Homo-oligomer: A and B are copies of this chain.
Amino acid sequence: MKKLINSPATVLEESLDGFAAAHADIVTLGEERKFVRRRQLVPGKVALISGGGSGHEPLHAGFVGHGMLDAACPGQVFTSPTPDQMIAAAEAVDGGAGILFIVKNYEGDVMNFDMAAEMAGKDIMKVITDDDVAVEASTWSTGRRGVAGTLVVEKVVGAAAEQGRSLVELQALGTGVNLATRSMGVALTSCTVPAAGTPTFTLAADEMEMGVGIHGEPGRRRVALGTADEIADEMVGAIHEDFGRSGDALLLVNGFGGTPLMELYLMYHAARVRLEQRGFAVRRSLVGNYVTSLEMAGASITVTLLDDEIARLWDAPVHTAALRWGL
C-alpha cells in the first residue's frame, strides 16, 4: 500500500484536521471530529446535513458552506458514520426551521441516519439519493446506490434552503432532483482502503468493471477495457434508457480519484456528443474529482434533467471548499 499517511488508524483525523485548517474561513470541526459544520450559521434556515463513509472526498465535507450543506458527518473510510455523529451535528446547526438529512442509499447510512432522526427529538426529514442505474441492488444497498448525483441534490437543495424554503418544500425538491438524476460509472483499477492494506478488488491489466460502485462494488459486468467512446456509448445509453426521454441537461463527469483531468475532459467530450445525438441539450457542466473512491482510476457520468427552477438553483452562489461560484 503506497499512501501519503502516517498510520491507517489516524488517516481520518489527520485529514480532517488539515481540511478544517485549510478552510477555516468556511468550516469548523465539531467536538471529537464528529462533524464538519459551517462557520457561519443562518438562523431560521432549514439545516442540511449529509455524511457517509470517508474516502469519497471532497464529498461531503467539501460541500459544507453557504449555498450547500450546513454539516457533514464523516465515517471511517467506506464506513457509515454513527448516529451520535448526526445527532451532534443536528444539535450544532439546528436553526429552528427543521433539519433535512441527505443520505446516499446504503443500508448502514440509511439505518444510522434514521436512528439519529428518531433519537434527536427534532423536526427531521430525509432525502435518499439513489441515482446509479448500473445495478438494482448491490453489496451494501437494497435498491439503487447513491453516487455522484448526490452532489447535484446537495447543491440544488442547498440553494433553495438559502432562499428560506420550508423543510417540506426542500424534501420535495430534493426527492424531485434525485428522480431527475441518473449516473453510471466504470473502474479501470481498484482502490485500497488504508485499514485493509490491500486492494478492494482486482482487475486484470486488460479489464474494467462496467457499472462499478463508489466503494468498488461490482457493477454490471467485468469486460475487456474499452475505448472512451465505447464506454460513453454504454453509460450514456444506460442513462438515457433509464430516463426514457431526453431534454435540457446538466452533465457531470466525475473522476474516481486516480484518473487525470485530461481523461475526464476527454470523457466529457465523448459523453456530450452522445447525449446530443440522443436529443439532450447540455446546458450546465461540471468536470472533476468530486465523488471519489480513494485512488480508484475511472469515472462516472451523471445527467440531471433540468427545468428552469433546477437550473436557477444550480447557478445560485455557493461557497464551499470544493464548489465555489458567485461569491
Interface size on A (CB < 8 Å)? 63
* Contacting pair B262 A225 (CB below 8 A): no
Residue A15, interface by CB 8 Å: yes
CA–CA, A3 and B206, complex, Å: 11
Q: Which of A127-135, A152-160, A174-182, A285-293 contacts B (4 or more CB under 8 A)?
A: A285-293
Residue A39, interface by CB 8 Å: no
Residue A18, interface by CB 8 Å: yes
Instruction: Give the Cβ gap from A311 to chain B, nearest Cβ, in Å.
Output: 14
* Contacting pair A4 B269 (CB below 8 A): no
Instruction: Give the Cβ gap from A62 to chain B, nearest Cβ, in Å.
Output: 8
Residue A68, interface by CB 8 Å: no
* Contacting pair A269 B55 (CB below 8 A): no
CA–CA, A222 and B21, complex, Å: 31
* Contacting pair A4 B299 (CB below 8 A): yes
Instruction: Give the Cβ gap from A258 to chain B, nearest Cβ, in Å.
Output: 5
* Contacting pair A258 B261 (CB below 8 A): no
Instruction: Give the Cβ gap from A276 to chain B, nearest Cβ, in Å.
Output: 10
CA–CA, A285 and B26, complex, Å: 12
Residue A267, interface by CB 8 Å: yes
* Contacting pair B21 A262 (CB below 8 A): no
Instruction: Give the Cβ gap from A226 to chain B, nearest Cβ, in Å.
Output: 9
Instruction: Give the Cβ gap from A291 to chain B, nearest Cβ, in Å.
Output: 11
* Contacting pair B2 A189 (CB below 8 A): yes
* Contacting pair A228 B289 (CB below 8 A): no
* Contacting pair B294 A262 (CB below 8 A): yes
Q: Which of B22, B205, B228, B295 contacts A4 (CB 8 A)?
A: B228
* Contacting pair B18 A272 (CB below 8 A): yes
CA–CA, A18 and B292, complex, Å: 21
A250-274 contacts to B (CB < 8 Å): 257-270, 272
Stoichiometry, as copies per complex, reads 2
CA–CA, A297 and B294, complex, Å: 12
* Contacting pair B261 A292 (CB below 8 A): yes
* Contacting pair A260 B257 (CB below 8 A): yes
* Contacting pair A5 B266 (CB below 8 A): yes
* Contacting pair B257 A18 (CB below 8 A): no
Q: Which of A108-116, A140-148, A319-327 contacts B (4 or more CB under 8 A)?
A: A319-327
Instruction: Give the Cβ gap from A247 to chain B, nearest Cβ, in Å.
Output: 18
CA–CA, A21 and B268, complex, Å: 9
Do A268 and B22 contact each other (CB < 8 Å), given the known contacts A57-B261, A261-B289, A295-B260?
A: yes
B residues less than 8 Å from A11 (CB atoms): 262-263, 266
Residue A73, interface by CB 8 Å: no
Report which A residues bind B (CB closer than 8 A): 2-7, 11-12, 14-19, 21-23, 54-55, 57-58, 62, 77, 186, 188-189, 205, 208, 225, 227-229, 231, 257-270, 272, 282, 285-287, 289, 292, 294-295, 297-299, 324-327
Could you jot down 26 A-B contacts, CB within 8 Å? A2-B297, A3-B259, A4-B231, A4-B263, A5-B228, A5-B263, A6-B270, A12-B262, A15-B262, A15-B269, A16-B265, A17-B269, A18-B267, A18-B268, A21-B272, A22-B268, A22-B272, A23-B285, A55-B262, A57-B262, A257-B258, A258-B297, A260-B292, A260-B294, A324-B325, A326-B327
